[in-house]
A and B are shown apart, each in its own frame.
Chain A
Amino acid sequence: MPYIPVTFNNRRVGITVLFICTTLLFSAFSGPLNAAYCSLRDPLAAINVLYPESDSHRSIVRPISQEARQLISNELPFTLHFNEIGQHTVYVAQKEKQPVGFIHARSELSNNGMIEIAWAINLDMSLNGFFFQRCRSPECVGALPQQLSQNLTGKTYSDLLLMLNETSSNLTPGMQLQYGAKSDLVLSVIRSALKTISITRIAWHADIDKIRQQVLIAKHFGPLSTVKLQSQATLPKPENYSIIQSDTVKTYAVLNNEQIIGYLAAASWKQDKQEGKTHWLFSTKGKVLDVEATKKWPNAEIQTAFQEVIGIDFSLKNDCSTAVESAGKFLYTALFTAL
């Protein structure tokens, strides 16, 4: 048996006990697990595999607050682990200074221990692929990652939910049949995808909005264009423009070398059970240059309805025949009233 002498006097033992008790007391109110920050590593291998065309990446560190956690928990069909809060990083993959997508790495509990997955997320919040940063199960090597990646690429949050059963506690019978003995791992991966999309769009929503605006104006006005928030005018009360949530409208001037070269409006819409957020790009005269959804369009019909207004000059149009045209007229009014 080892000889373990106890040579400390009472004062030292008292101080040590006091320290331990104090830290235990504090720990009762503790939040996230924080490994020493020197152990943090950028997911470089993942970024290079998932976005081979990118030439740089930009980190955006944001806290996942209790409030954000509550919103995420309300959205997810399963419990968010307490470790999920704290500060996390989303990486923006860029090509020639323009964002091409996001990378967000998350840990997920599996039957073979913790797995860490770096998710590639498109600018419209659909999936673009994934990379096992850490998966110590033998199932993670071989054909599964490629097969699963093909199944998940392009999927939105809603699409992913359809891969789970009603309680989200398991895969659908069809998915179970497809993946057989590997279903448990696939379930962990899909839950990680749902969690990652939800956390990204809630905790990083302001950054995502800004990046999507940047991409939209670069597409029409070049990469040197910038946006400036306009002072918001009192908006007219919506009449038959009810699909636009008027309290969500924000208007911006698009600038190049201090010159206004266009206008941008951001607004949420809602009709029946469908809703979303849109960016509308206008010329200086009031013509709609583009309309895009900040998330993937709910369906092709809605996408077509919104994109049919592209090209309409609302300075000349007084009679609106569709709800989306009415929305366009409303935003045109908001933009040009704010001038």
Chain B
Amino acid sequence: MPHPIIRFFFFVFSLSCISVVAQGENATFETTTKLSSNLRWTLDFSSLAVFNDNDSFTQNMIGLDIHKVFSNENGDIGTLVFQPYWVNFDNKQSTPYFFDGKDTELTWRIANFNLTTLSKGGFNIRLGHFEVPFGLEQNIDTNGTTRQYSFADRGIKADWGTSINGVLPSFDYELAVMRGSGNDYTTRDDPYIVAGRIGTPSHQNLVIGLSFFKGEILDASGTTKRERIGLDMAWYRCNWELLFEVSAGNNEETQVANALAEVSWRNLDESFHSYLQIRHFQTEANDDEKGSALNLGLNFNITNRFIISSEWNKPIDQFGSQSEHSTFILQARYRL
């Protein structure tokens, strides 16, 4: 891994490049003008406070969000999404292992190029850092939000790798081969992931998907072998949304099962969103331990750029090292 200072300069350099590019038509160089076409970019600030008797902390994030479509006279060639985020924890007992014991780290949310020119969007090739295709995460963006689904069950949300993906008349699909190391690309302990999802078209009011996941996921001390198959469903009607995901498989030799159900409601202009999630997890280890939790979330779009989100997490059945106390999360997010 490069030294943190080098990574910081890379981050600042990226910001500078984008600022120049964003001058667009006024830019001096032709290449700059070309780079600025079909370009969206913004800065994303958020601060999140987690209140729990075991580990109360704040998490502050500053990120760059770039979306650029490369085109020529023949049509679109591909799409670049580039989202480096500077993440800082304050008062957290232990930060994720890839922070190497530090409080601050450059993290990669999404950073990939999707080649879309091959077959009218029916067969695309993605390369870079992207969400592991599995379950509800595939169609609903939860990056950087308090609302999350089941990625914790698989131990990884996004990873470096490549995929084939596409939108066909009857179904959407993505099949990925990934490094298994999460934020940093590393070959330590030779991790890997093979995962995929196939589902009915995401614009419909009933979306059903099937997923699989197989891999050895890197953690602080080595890797954990995980295998899952999953079924997800989303049903939309007027202002209501019902989501459901169930998966089963193994962690090493232990059989596990995971289920999530969510009901949510938005007001007419969608400036307010509330949801209630019920999560259930069980394993055959230690006499069939089970755990359940209830999540209640409220999101307010205060203005068009400023969002306040909160989530209250209440364990129902305590499981393993899971906290027995409730957790309250409050997030303020501003997109420049």
The 8 closest A-B pairs by CB, nearest first: A2-B326, A56-B75, A37-B67, A27-B306, A39-B141, A30-B305, A44-B121, A23-B334
B53 at the interface (CB under 8 A from A): yes
Q: Are A48 and B58 interface neighbours, CB within 8 A?
A: no
CA distance A4 to B51 in the complex (A): 6
| Chain B residues in 8 Å Cβ range of A136 | 205, 236-239
| Chain A residues in 8 Å Cβ range of B325 | 2-3
Q: Are B39 and A61 interface neighbours, CB within 8 A?
A: yes
Q: What distance in Å separates the Cβ of B107 from its nearest Cβ neighbour in chain A?
A: 14
| Chain A residues in 8 Å Cβ range of B306 | 23-24, 26-27, 30
What 0/1 pattern do residues 17 to 51 of A give for CB contact below 8 A with B? 00110011011101111111111111011111000
Name the one of B56, B236, B335 contacting A7, with C-beta atoms under 8 angstroms: B56
Which A residue sits closest to B158, measured CB to CB? A38
| Chain A residues in 8 Å Cβ range of B252 | none
The count of residues in chain B whose C-beta lies closer than 8 Å to any C-beta of chain A is 66
CA distance A36 to B328 in the complex (A): 24
Q: Are A112 and B81 interface neighbours, CB within 8 A?
A: no
Q: Are A56 and B65 interface neighbours, CB within 8 A?
A: no
Given A4-B326, A44-B120 in contact, is the A16-B49 Cβ separation under 8 Å? yes
CA distance A40 to B49 in the complex (A): 28
Name the one of B141, B167, B304 contacting A30, with C-beta atoms under 8 angstroms: B304
A83 at the interface (CB under 8 A from B): yes
| Chain A residues in 8 Å Cβ range of B305 | 26-27, 30-34
| Chain A residues in 8 Å Cβ range of B6 | none
Identify which of residues 1-60 in chain B touch chain A, using a CB-to-CB cut-off of 8 Å. Answer: 37-40, 42, 44-45, 47, 49, 51, 53, 56, 58, 60
Given A38-B81, A42-B116, A45-B169 in contact, is the A27-B141 Cβ separation under 8 Å? no
Q: Are B144 and A55 interface neighbours, CB within 8 A?
A: no
A138 at the interface (CB under 8 A from B): yes
Q: Are A97 and B65 interface neighbours, CB within 8 A?
A: no
Which A residue sits closest to B307, measured CB to CB? A33
A236 at the interface (CB under 8 A from B): no
Q: Are B203 and A45 interface neighbours, CB within 8 A?
A: yes
Which of B184-192, B255-263, B265-273 has 4 or more CB atoms under 8 Å from chain A? Answer: B265-273
A82 at the interface (CB under 8 A from B): yes
Q: What distance in Å separates the Cβ of A182 from its nearest Cβ neighbour in chain B?
A: 14
Q: Is the interface of A mostly helix, strand, loop or mixed?
A: mixed
Q: Are A82 and B304 interface neighbours, CB within 8 A?
A: yes
Q: Are B65 and A37 interface neighbours, CB within 8 A?
A: yes
Q: Are A38 and B332 interface neighbours, CB within 8 A?
A: no
Which A residue sits closest to B72, measured CB to CB? A58
CA distance A132 to B66 in the complex (A): 28
CA distance A132 to B39 in the complex (A): 26
Give the most central of B42, B66, B121, B237: most A CB within 10 Å.
Answer: B121
A273 at the interface (CB under 8 A from B): no
Q: Are B75 and A37 interface neighbours, CB within 8 A?
A: no
Q: Are A61 and B332 interface neighbours, CB within 8 A?
A: no
| Chain B residues in 8 Å Cβ range of A56 | 74-76, 117, 120
Which B residue sits closest to A23, measured CB to CB? B334
What 0/1 pattern do residues 293 to 329 of B give for CB contact below 8 A with A? 0000000011111100000101000000000011010
Q: Are A94 and B205 interface neighbours, CB within 8 A?
A: no
B177 at the interface (CB under 8 A from A): no
Q: Are A3 and B75 interface neighbours, CB within 8 A?
A: no
